[in-house]
Amino acid sequence: MASILEIQEALSFVVGFNLLTLVVEVGTLGLATPIAIPLDVAVTAVGAGVATHGGFVGRNAIQNGKDTLQRFQSSSSSGESVSGGKRTDKLVVENMSKFFELPFGKSMKNSVQKANGKYNGASVWKVTDKHSGNPHLKKGDRFYIDTESFDHIEVFDKRGRVKAVLDMKGNYIEAKTKAALKQKRTISIFD
């Protein structure tokens, strides 16, 4: 975090006026000019560094803001994703409450319970009934909503090894499942 003086000096670098040097000059009635000139150079260098650092931070903050705005714009209140102004069949949900409002979530709501633990910030859920309503979910399996895209769930067997990736409609996503299996993803089981 930059101090107020550093911020002022960064601004003075940009506008070409150094307040600290002026204070030293006026405060000593010009007697400290030999000190003020090197001080001016040093403080201007600090200002350049803060201005440069602030430029990098500011640019990243702006890009992060644009990314977040784009993500909000790409989802609708119904959970459907919007791409280029056109609706796609990709459903996006930000939490399990919203997931249980979808047809797939409703079909399994009474067959699951919240398990102990989290994975990447998402609550892990456990299938408690052998009739979960989906052939890829068996009793004892665990799953969570992927927190990067919020458009699929990752399913793990009762030993914590990944076994499937399903979209929010319950469909098997072959490419994502293959990638997860190749990475040998696992979760901790706390029963």
The pLDDT of residue 82 is above 50: no
- β 152-156/142-145 pair status: antiparallel
Tell me, what amino acid is at 159? R
Residue with tokens 């009474």: 110
Q: Is 17 part of any domain?
A: yes
In this structure, are 108 and 166 located in the same domain? yes
Domain holding 175: CATH number?
3.10.380
- The pTM of this model reads 0.55
Provide the pLDDT for residue 94: 87
Residues 169 and 100 in one domain: yes
pLDDT for 146 equals 94
Cα dihedral 180, 72, 78, 129, rounded to 10, equals 30
Where a domain ends, among 26, 45, 73?
A: 73
- Tell which wins on pLDDT, 80 or 101: 101
Higher pLDDT, 95 or 61: 95
With respect to residue 119, please indicate whether it lies within any of the assigned structural domains: yes
Shared domain for 150 and 105, answered yes or no, is yes
Residue 78 within a domain: no
Q: How high is the pLDDT of residue 133?
A: 76
- Assess whether 98 and 172 both reside in one domain: yes
Residues 11 and 50: their CA atoms lie apart, in Å, by 9
Say if 188 falls within a structural domain: no
User: Are 63 and 108 found together in one domain?
Assistant: no
- Tally of domains within the chain: 2
Three state DSSP letters for the chain: CCCHHHHHHHHHHHHCCCHHHHHHHHHCCCCCHHHHHHHHHHHHHHHHHHHHHHHHHHHHHHHHHHHHHHHHHCECCCCEEEECCEEEEEECCCCHHHHCCCHHHHHHHHHEEEEEEEECCEEEEEECCCCCCCCCCCCCCEEEECCCCCCEEEEECCCCEEEEEEECCCCECHHHHHHHHHHCCECCCCC
Mean pLDDT of 105-112: 92
pLDDT at 157: 95
> Residue 155 half-sphere exposure, CB side, CA atoms within 13 Å?
25
Q: Domain containing 40: what range?
A: 4-73
Domain final residue, candidates 24, 43, 73: 73
Alpha carbons within 13 A on the beta-carbon side of 111: 19
pLDDT tens digits, 14-60: 445 555 555 555 556 666 555 555 555 555 555 555 444 555 445 56
Please name which of 37, 187, 12, 27 lies closest in space to residue 116, comparing C-alpha atoms: 187
| pLDDT above 70: percentage of residues in the chain | 52
What's the pLDDT score for residue 131?
74
Q: Are residues 53 and 96 in the same domain?
A: no
In a domain, 26, yes or no: yes
Instruction: Give the pLDDT confidence of 160-183 residue by residue, as tens digits.
Output: 999 999 999 999 999 999 999 999
Judge whether 96 lies within some domain: yes
Spatial distance between the Cα atoms of 21 and 30, rounded to a whole number of angstroms: 11
